[in-house]
Amino acid sequence: MTAASLSAPFLEGLERGEIRYQACAECGAAQTLARYACRACGSAQLQWRTAKGLGSVYAATTVARAPSEEFRALAPYTLAIVELDEGPRLMGHAAPEVRIGDRVVAGFFKFGDRNLVRFGKA
């Protein structure tokens, strides 16, 4: 299995306006980064689930200098790490007014040929 095929369910979810994550059938741990095994117990019994899109801001920052030419048109922009209600954390774009501790809801926006996550206040 390639890295691209491993993350395919997550990327397909984004295209449908969903946040997908892996949940371990053995211990129940949740993870957003696609892996071959559970980060908590090592089990390979992972299932893809769909998050409700609600969570709390764990960290946020404003990016003034885009990391690539592709994202320069968006700068300055806010990125946030959000702890989803289901447990895993996910980094995505965010409304400029979000702060650590805020309750947020996931939305999506088209950028080039893909959908990206943008969190806004719930």
Residue 94 · residue 76 · CB < 8 Å: no
Regarding whether 111 and 80 lie in a shared domain, the answer is yes
- Confidence band, pLDDT 50/70/90 cuts, at residue 1: low
Regarding whether 116 and 58 lie in a shared domain, the answer is yes
Regarding whether 56 and 46 lie in a shared domain, the answer is no
pLDDT at 38 over 90: yes
Tell me, what's the pLDDT at 37? Answer: 97
Please give the C-alpha separations between residue 114 and each of 61, 95, 108, 110, in angstroms, as whole numbers.
Answer: 23, 19, 10, 6
Regarding whether 44 and 4 lie in a shared domain, the answer is yes
Average pLDDT over residues 21-39: 96
Regarding whether 78 and 18 lie in a shared domain, the answer is no
Tell me, what's the pLDDT at 22? Answer: 97
Terminal CA-CA length for the chain? 37
Regarding whether 118 and 64 lie in a shared domain, the answer is yes
Q: What CATH number is attached to the domain comprising 62?
A: 2.40.50.840
Tell me, what's the pLDDT at 3? Answer: 60
Tell me, what's the pLDDT at 2? Answer: 65
The tens digit of pLDDT for each residue in 94-115 reads 999 999 999 999 999 999 999 9
Is this structure's pTM higher than 0.85? yes
Rg of the chain on CA atoms, in Å: 15
- Confidence band, pLDDT 50/70/90 cuts, at residue 5: confident
Regarding whether 57 and 28 lie in a shared domain, the answer is no
For the chain, the domain total comes to: 2
Regarding whether 74 and 105 lie in a shared domain, the answer is yes
The tens digit of pLDDT for each residue in 52-97 reads 999 999 999 999 999 999 999 999 999 999 999 999 999 999 999 9
Query: How many residues in the chain?
Result: 122
Residue 29 belongs to domain spanning: 1-50
